[in-house]
Structure 1
Amino acid sequence: MDRRLVITADDLGVDPDTNATIVELMRDGVVSATTLIPVAPAAADAVHRLRAAGLGAPRLHVALSSGREWAEQGWHPIASNVPSLTEPDGTLPVDAAVAEHRATVPDVTRELHAQLGWMRDRNVLPPALDSHSGTLYGIHGRSLAGTAVDFCAAHGLDFRLPRRLGTVLGLAVRGLRAAHRGAVRRADELGVRIPELLLSSWLPGGLIPCYGLLRAEVIAQLACLPRGTSELIVHPAPRRSVARMRPGDGRKRVWELRLLRDPAFHRALRREGITIVPAW
């Protein structure tokens, strides 16, 4: 079987220490892709570090909600006049479910254009698009995946939309399977490339009592990887970057960083005959 895997470090741009860690992982070939949040406070720092390291462009990690842990004042949209996306103070809502349900399609489209434009204005040309906190996928009960697929087709981008939901994501988007199937069909019709399956450590950080359980959860998913190109999503961060997070969430990010350099993880990849690639 030809099984390929993109190993993606999400959330480039949230703070300089996380940026430095992800760039090091990219430079060392430990991860094969990364994603950048243009509205995050250290997005410009991330672009500078990528250029200094001679690395290629990250994917666009579209954010329609604020990162609670990193921005005490909230994140702001790049587009102007997108009232359905913002709180009264002009920031993106912290609650991703609020962002997903309140957003209008015209405002989402304007913000997609603005975040993509922010990257292109800096000569950073992302090959693909995906969604911070899952607001485009319907995880919180309303799918915007069709809108994202059309946007990607218009701008020559691939889209992180799994062709197969898998057990965990299938539970997360219960009731939205028809919307998911429709978005997958639309992607195929428009030539938007999508991954076969998404892998991650899906348990909330507070429910993971030890590093060994996180590693076992991820390695078990490798054994079930289908043919084609799938994606492993991780959120690696050093200890100094997670002090403001809830203890379980911060610990999980530190453990995901540990996983990426764990010989047992890399032995599992070799044992399963999985080829690491940079894109779907």
Structure 2
Amino acid sequence: MSLAQELGYQSDDRLLLINADDYGLCHSMNTAVQQLLTEGAISSATIMMPCGWAREAAHWSAAHPQYDVGVHLTFTSEWESYSWGPVTDNGDVSSLTTTEGYFYPDPRSFELHAEPEHVKRELVNQIERALKLGMKPSHADNHMGSLYGLETGKHFMAEVLDVCAAYGLPFRLPRFVQVESGVAPQEMVEQARAVAALADAKGVVILDYLLGLPFTLQNGESYDSFKADMKRLLASLKPGVSELIIHPSHVTDELNAFHREPVKRGMEFQIFRDAEVRKAIEEQGIKLIRWSDLQQLQRRRA
């Protein structure tokens, strides 16, 4: 039985989750994500627990449990003027940080240095931080793909899946890799099959497909061209459960102070509020679902 069928749909239904990553990064992202959730423009969001505005985001989530909010497991800190480090204060996680005490700025550096036991400790503590702030996380995913081994092949999927199984969280992992989507390279195809089998063995529900458009502003890109690309991407959805990831924000002085892509973040805030895009979803017969649907399935399987 396919994942769609287990969720109560037909095998040829195209089911879509729209997730806002990087919730908690800054106040401008928090207000944008909260607006999109309350408007029903997105399915869910995930909080970067080590970041300075995570507490605000987590408290809002705790006060609004009707919206799906998960944990954006974070092990990299990519901005020059705004950095963060581990939440762990009850054990050694020194392999995860630079000499300054912050996370490494890129996944490759993280992969080269990180020790599995340190990764697992920090995974647990990021989820525990969310719980202590009153959240009931609906799912988990990963900032910058640092845990997937995309750069060196050294991944931490066993640790992630163990933790997600323990906390009852489905995880952003595509069973089928669409190289053409631009999210994952060709070498991920075989690894995805093996890791999907591991997820199944551990009882963690995962996706069929993971989709996204470039996170950076492309040469000559305008909002209209971005919208056209998004409509084409939506039309290309395959039967099954897909997740599409965005990083929406209000464009403010705060965002401009540290972010290299404020214009694209503003576009991503507008895109699923756009009447044309919403009409395209309806005309394509795409059914929007929620991560809590997958979480309930994981609990039923257990």
TM-score (norm: length of structure 2): 0.85
- Specify the alignment match of 1:251 in structure 2: 263
Provide closer, same or farther for how the CA distance between residues 76 and 122 of structure 1 changes in structure 2, counting only shifts above 3 A: same
CA contact (8 A) 2:181 2:212 kept: no
Correspondent of 1:133 among 129, 139, 144: 144
Superposed displacement of residue 185, structure 1: 0.8
Provide closer, same or farther for how the CA distance between residues 208 and 166 of structure 1 changes in structure 2, counting only shifts above 3 A: farther
- Specify the alignment match of 2:223 in structure 1: 211
- Specify the alignment match of 1:278 in structure 2: 290
Return the alpha-carbon distance in structure 1 between the equivalents of residues 203 and 182 of structure 2.
24
Superposed displacement of residue 36, structure 1: 0.6
The one-letter amino acid of 1:161's match is L
The one-letter amino acid of 2:156's match is L
Superposed displacement of residue 171, structure 1: 7.5
Counting matched residue pairs gives: 277
- Specify the alignment match of 1:116 in structure 2: 127
Determine whether 1:77 maps to 2:49. Answer: no
The one-letter amino acid of 2:263's match is R
- The unaligned stretches of length 5 or more in structure 1 are none
Worse-superposed segment, 170-179 or 188-197: 170-179
CA contact (8 A) 1:27 1:55 kept: no
The one-letter amino acid of 2:152's match is G
- Specify the alignment match of 2:208 in structure 1: 196
Provide closer, same or farther for how the CA distance between residues 177 and 170 of structure 1 changes in structure 2, counting only shifts above 3 A: farther
Worse-superposed segment, 38-47 or 183-192: 183-192
Superposed displacement of residue 196, structure 1: 1.2
Q: How high is the sequence identity, in percent, across the aligned residues?
A: 30
Superposed displacement of residue 65, structure 1: 0.7
Specify the SS of the correspondent of 1:239.
coil
Correspondent of 2:26 among 15, 25, 31: 15
- Specify the alignment match of 2:297 in structure 1: none
Return the alpha-carbon distance in structure 1 between the equivalents of residues 219 and 97 of structure 2.
31
Worse-superposed segment, 80-89 or 205-214: 205-214
Superposed displacement of residue 27, structure 1: 0.8
Return the alpha-carbon distance in structure 2 between the equivalents of residues 25 and 9 of structure 1.
9
Superposed displacement of residue 4, structure 1: 1.1
Specify the SS of the correspondent of 1:40.
coil
Q: 5 Å matches for 1:7-156?
A: 7-53=18-64, 55-56=66-67, 58-68=69-79, 72-79=81-88, 80-142=91-153, 143-156=155-168
| Cα deviation digits, residues 67-98 of structure 1 (max 9, x gap) | 416xx352010114111100011111112221
- Specify the alignment match of 1:177 in structure 2: 189
Return the alpha-carbon distance in structure 1 between the equivalents of residues 215 and 251 of structure 2.
20
Specify the SS of the correspondent of 1:8.
strand
Specify the SS of the correspondent of 2:108.
helix
Superposed displacement of residue 20, structure 1: 1.2
Specify the SS of the correspondent of 1:179.
helix
- Specify the alignment match of 2:298 in structure 1: none
Specify the SS of the correspondent of 2:187.
coil
CA RMSD of aligned residues (A): 2.0
Provide closer, same or farther for how the CA distance between residues 57 and 204 of structure 1 changes in structure 2, counting only shifts above 3 A: closer
Specify the SS of the correspondent of 1:158.
coil
Return the alpha-carbon distance in structure 1 between the equivalents of residues 159 and 36 of structure 2.
32
Superposed displacement of residue 66, structure 1: 1.0
- Specify the alignment match of 2:175 in structure 1: 163
| Cα deviation digits, residues 15-37 of structure 1 (max 9, x gap) | 11211111111011111101011
Return the alpha-carbon distance in structure 2 between the equivalents of residues 73 and 203 of structure 1.
19
Superposed displacement of residue 127, structure 1: 2.2
Determine whether 1:242 maps to 2:255. Answer: yes
Specify the SS of the correspondent of 1:117.
helix
Return the alpha-carbon distance in structure 2 between the equivalents of residues 87 and 156 of structure 1.
32
TM-score (norm: length of structure 1): 0.91
